[in-house]
Amino acid sequence: MPGREHSARAPLSIHDLTVAYERSPVLWDVDLDLPAGSLVGVIGPNGAGKSTLLKACLDLIPRASGEVRFFGRPYREVRRRIGYVPQRESVDWDFPVSALDVVTMGLYGEIGWFRPVRRHHRERAREALAKAGIAELADRQIQQLSGGQQQRVFLARALVQRADLYLMDEPFAAVDAATQRTLTDLLQELREEGRGAVVVHHDLSTVRAIFDWVVLLNLRVVRAGPTEEVFTEENLAATYGGNLNLLAQAGEALRQREGT
C-alpha cells in the first residue's frame, strides 16, 4: 500500500521494514498497523524472524530499511510506554542477583543514569512480583528459581514499568501449567485496562484462546488480522509451507481445536 499514512493511534505501526544479517535478508517488507488495546500473537516456524521483528522494532538490531512508530512516534521518544520481555534463555541465570534485583531493573530507565535504586522503587518491584504470583521469592537468587518462576520474574520486570504496550518474546516457552494460567490472566488484564501486547508464540493450540489478532510470519508477513479471519488451516499451510513436519503439527493442533 504505497503512501499509506501511519495512524497516530496505532500502538505499533511498521512500514516497509527489512532486516538483513550480512546482506541476506531475514525479514522482508513488513507492513503492519496493529489495533489499539489488543493482544496480538506473532506466529511462524523457527527461523521465521519473529524475535528479529521485535528486536528491530526496539532498535536493538539495525534495520536495512523501513520505519517503525509506536503511538505515532519513534521508539526512543516513547521508551517508557513500551515494555519488553526478552526470551528467558537469552540471559545467564547463574548471575549474582535476586529476583527483586531483576525486577527493579525494569525501573532503571525511569530512575535514570547514575542515580541509586531507592526504597520506593523496591516497593514497586515487590508489588510487581506479587502480581506475577511470586512475592515470597523476592530474595531468592535467580538460579534457585524454576523455569516458570524465572519467566514470572521477567514478566514482573516488564509489568513494574506500567507500559502501554508490551513486546514479549516466547513468554509461554517451557513454563508449567500454573505459570501459563498466570500469564494468560495477566494478558487479559492488560487488555481490560486498554493496554496491549505483541507476543511471539509457538503453541498453535492456544492461539485462539489468547489472541484477538495474529500476525503469521515467515520472513515476510503471510497474513495479519483478526484471529477468526486469519488463523485458518489454509493460511497456516502457507506460513509453515515447505516444512512438512511443522505443517502436520499445525494441522493436528487445528483438528484438536475443532474437536473440542
Residues that bind another protein (CB under 8 A): 55, 58-60, 76, 79, 82, 84, 86, 90-92, 95-98, 101-102, 105-106, 108-109, 111, 113-114, 116-117, 141, 143, 157
We find the least distance from the C-beta atom of residue 200 to another protein, in angstroms, to be 14
192 burial via Cβ count (<10 Å: 0-12, 13-18, 19+)? exposed
Q: What is the C-alpha separation between 69 and 73, in angstroms, rounded?
A: 5
**Inter-residue contact 239 to 45 (CB < 8 Å):** yes
Residue with smaller CB distance to another protein, 137 or 247: 137
Triad 97, 99, 104: Cα angle to 5°: 85
We find the least distance from the C-beta atom of residue 193 to another protein, in angstroms, to be 22
Residue with smaller CB distance to another protein, 2 or 112: 112
Closest CA to 102 of 185, 158, 169: 158
Q: Which grid coordinates belong to 118?
A: 531507592
We find the least distance from the C-beta atom of residue 48 to another protein, in angstroms, to be 19
Residue with smaller CB distance to another protein, 173 or 230: 173
Inter-CA distances, 87 with 1, 73, 224, Å: 33, 26, 23
Q: What is the C-alpha separation between 89 and 105, in angstroms, rounded?
A: 17
Residue with smaller CB distance to another protein, 147 or 225: 147
We find the least distance from the C-beta atom of residue 143 to another protein, in angstroms, to be 8
Residue with smaller CB distance to another protein, 105 or 238: 105
State whether residue 27 is helix, strand or coil: strand
Residue with smaller CB distance to another protein, 133 or 222: 133
We find the least distance from the C-beta atom of residue 222 to another protein, in angstroms, to be 26
We find the least distance from the C-beta atom of residue 215 to another protein, in angstroms, to be 20
Residue with smaller CB distance to another protein, 55 or 162: 55
Sign of CA pseudo-dihedral 130, 58, 16, 28: negative
H helices of 135-220, where? 147-159, 177-192, 207-210
We find the least distance from the C-beta atom of residue 148 to another protein, in angstroms, to be 17
**Inter-residue contact 26 to 49 (CB < 8 Å):** yes
